[in-house]
Structure 1
Amino acid sequence: MSKNQKSDFKNPNTSIPAWRQLRWNLILFFVLLAVLPVTIAITVILVQASQQATDQVTDQLESIAELKRGQIVRWLEASQGVLTLFLADRNRVDQFVNFVVFSSPEAESVARQTLNNVLGEAVKAQPLFEEFFVYNTKGEILAASNPIQLGKIVTRQPYFSRSLKEPYVQPPYYALGTADLAMFITQPLVDQRKQIVGVLAGRLNLNTLGQIMTDRTGLSNSGETYLVSLESHYLVTPSRFESEGYIPTRAYYSEGINRVLLGEDGAGTYPGYREPPVNVIGAYRWIPQLQVGLLAEVEEAEALAPYTQARNVSAGIALVAVLVAVGIGFYSATRIARPITALTQVATQITNGNLEQRAEIAERNEIGLLATAFNTMTSQLRELIGSLEDRVTARTERLEIVATLGERLSAILKVEELLTEVVNQIKDRFNYYHAHIYLLDDTGQNLVVAEGVGEAGAVMKAKGHSIPLNAPTSLVARAARTGEIVTVDNVRQAEDWLPNPLLPNTYSEMAVPIVLEGQVVGVLDVQQDRVAGLDEADANLLRSLVNQVAVAIRNARLFDEVETALAEAYAAQARYTEQSWEKAKIVTRQGQYHYVQPHAPTLTEAQTQALAAAKVQALQQHRSLTLTPNGNNSEVTAVVSPIILRQVPIGSLQICSSSPDQVWTEDDLEIVEVITQELARVAENLRLFEETRERASYEQTVRQITDKLRAAPDLDTLLETAARELGQRLGVRHTVLELGLKTGPLVANAQNGQGSGSGEVL
């Protein structure tokens, strides 16, 4: 290559960051190859170990939760059994019922003391209840193991309303105004009539519940079990971290608490209720009898400590493997990358335009083969660049021609002119042997030559040369049927080629369908006088061109349709104007007015005839005429101007001068033209006004007669009114109206408007 050619190339930036260099990528590859399998194996093992450790802790916590829930349920059942056993003695029940129902003031103190003693003994006999008391349906405590409770009203207690209906276990709650946790079991007192007259209530000893939950059997150092109440999210049993401010009488939230209070049983890892949150592994169980959730939790860090230690050891092993892999990778990568780096430097020189460079690499492996192929490619590149610029220039010229043709075609609005321009430009600009365009006929069954170049095209167009759409031996028909470009490099060897005697030198042919809005409307057929004279570049070029031709055809057809529609509209408007003025009735001076200046001479017969002939000519030509004796040997000096309304002459204006030397200037003629135009417009407005007024009068007449007909009280009056009104409105002397199908003279059957269904007005 010459120095000038070398200067056309830009010197690329050959500086590659270290992280993109082959050597370092190979080092990274060796590291990954050594470390990745180990890392994956260790990761899988650690994940499995973590999952197993988590599952083991979860199973242990679930066992603890189930165990404690069972203890709580048995404690509750035992408490209910104590109350049921206490009331199993019917005499005792009757004693309580009689006291509640029949106690009198005189015997009340003795009976109450007796019952108080019974209740007190019952409390001492078992450890599950702290006190018993009896209240009536009004909520007043009548007897109690603790005398302090006597006389108190329990209607505001949460268990009161339910206790009057059925045996009821009141879930733990914090009494109003105190921080004391309370839980009650109630049993209704029923008389002989099976009616509830009072309630026996027992307040449970919650120390037992606390002992169950604070038992740390099976829990690690950070483990705890606790109960949370559905009401207000308060703790029912003390928190292990109560000394840190986590008191029972405050709301606590965590994923486990929220789920268990929704009635769910389960386990998982989630942030605990402490702040800041500490991840815990927990198991939770819902206890519906107490409306509380039971949770057993342990800190995740403590539970997974063995896993953490194994993970740290594995990380150390992986680090050692990385260091070893780096050493091996560095050596191997340098040995592999050295010839590739040399080849890269040669490629950089070639990129800069020095195509004489060769890669001198002695390795007898794939890299050596690559260097040989690279040298071969460089030689071919030297040959290719020599012809590349010419090919690019030719393609650019073709694209410019297509763009220019598109602009010219878009400006042509006549279909025939458009098609003529297309075929001639295609043949001349692209040096084709022949080009012509087929369009589908109105039936859509035949392709008819619409335009072609040269004598052959003119002959085919004049003869109406056509090809059936279903013709089996036609490239044009095949392109129209399939909607695809059909190209044949040698038509003499094509089975479906239809030879044309007018084009004997055709050897290659391309048929390009013209598609408009998804439908094939025609085919552009181009031919060359040499084998394989049309290639893919021609196909792309002609495809782009026919798309523009399709749009241009649509625009031209639309323009023709618009012109036709406008012509029809103008013709209809002209007919309407002409018919309207023929029907117009101009009364004053029969539509004429003749103004004569005082002392002006009267027109002679010859002058009148000259004006009449000029009037006919002006109306036919739709333009003003000037008559002068000197100019056109006229008998009169005058201006005759047609009065034109919407291209239709509706009258004329004749101006005659008494002086034969009168000169009509451009200003005079312009004044006449403006006046006639304004006269036509105003006359049309007056005609329309008169037409509207007549129509209004007609409508008024019809309405008046109709109103009178509707006011008729009977048929005779109706007929009389109709005949009289029509006669008066139409100005006729004799009007006869008859209803029915009688035959014979009408007047003979009507006497002064009397008779069945007939009337007469004279």
Structure 2
Amino acid sequence: LTEEERVGPQGARAEERALNLLIAFRNRDIENINSYALLDINGNILFEYPRTENKGNESNRIYFTNVVETGTVYVSPVEFSPETGEPFFYFSALTVDSLGRQVGVLRARYDARVLQQLINRSSGLVGGESYAVLFDENYLHLAHGAAPETIFKLVDMPSSTEVTALQNTYRLPNLPLEQLSTDLPELQQSLIDTDTTPIFEATDVATGARINQAAAVLMEEQPWTVAFFQPQDVFLEPVDTLIRRTVFLTLITIFVVVGVAIALANIIARPILQLEKVANQVAEGDLTIQAPESFDSEVGALARAFNMMTAQIRDSVSNLERRVAERTRVIEISAQVSRNLTTILDPEQLVQEVVTQVRSAFDYYYAQIYLWDESQTQLVMAGGTGDAGAKMLARGHALAPGKGLVGRAAEMKLPVLIPDVEQEKGWLPNELLPFTKAETAVPILIGNEVIGVLDVQHSVENGLGQQDVELIQSVANQFAIAYQNAKNYVEQQKQAEYEALVNEIRQKIQSTTEVDSALKIAVRELGNALGAKRTTVKFNIQSEENGNGY
């Protein structure tokens, strides 16, 4: 409008319309939005709601200069009001007229304490006493899921020069130096090293001297860090009960913690991205758009249609639940297989029980175990499932080292995986197993020594993956221990029987006082014990005169 139009009825109507829009925007989240303002291209406040007497100039603020220079939507870091000390962060976007010319900036001021509300939702996500903490790029606590009294304090004690620089740019509360830090230099160093070491151990104000297992991730849209903490004694409690049976559970738990930390970062970033989309639509002239409600997975790129984004979020949640359910099932079955193995002391029975349980528990097509022969030159099949396994056992099926998947796994001492056998050159088909589509072989190790190979086959292309390899390797490790124990038990039984037999023969010999009877008893008992058809005792008596035997 021209100056003359602005002071007339047309200007009054335009002002009323602008204020009504600002009021409508703020009322969408009245608890957290502190104010909406419309600035002209010089940074002067034209309209602001709630209204203030002082219509100042904000041309020196970064949320104004950044938008004017780049023309893109801007989200500011958390700043503290120089007048009230209240924490805010700002969203800003260019406004254009009908000809596409820049005419000003739309600015929203958000209460930074809303971040604490988001963080509070994450408490207990991965078990008892777990919580999340949000840090900015200066390692200032923006939110703390267990100790909210630490928010807006730095992790480590800064120098007075650093404090002054941050306070001059409104990035730190105007408080005495001793009130601005939690004095945790080791935690700050771990956060600095997040790119290379995202999983670490650290102490925190909320848990005192207790050591926490922590995982941290950098957010994509803001230079902020989200860290997830859980006391190490709580974190390791379920692992301690299973660690003798399986080691890979620890890795799974760590992956879950990292996944939750990443998911939490997405939860925090989502509202910012949604507000950014609203601001973009408003700047383009669409005043009917409303920010959608937050969901529990990552929001797609702003260029995606809203309906597509919602579908992707639902798919992500569904896939996550499916993976968690499948992982839980695998853990339970693996634990049951481990318990069953510990009760079997016959080596041959143990071999057959392992292949049978592995095949049936995980719905594989076929499973088999090969062990070294006595000369350590061939891998001889010791157990297999179904008719194919019985036939190969009957004909003494064996493989040379380096031949086929089984031979390669034994030679390299590493698992070998073929997701699609038709695409693998040199794969050896078996006429007894015509439906094999995927195969993996893992070495059975005792220390660094290979004692055999556990081989599993599936009738579905890509039906075996890295998760199956880890699972089968875990079963192979458990089998190696159980097999060694069974062999030791059998040897001990044989030794005990031998000693009992020797003792029985000794007692029978000692029960007679005649040499002739003692010799007869010895010959008879040794023959019976050895299953000999004939037993003979020969004496070599030396002559006292010439020393020759006769």
- Tell me the TM-score normalised to structure 1 length: 0.32
Bigger Rg, structure 1 or 2: 1
- Tell me the TM-score normalised to structure 2 length: 0.43
Pick the structure with more helix per residue: 1
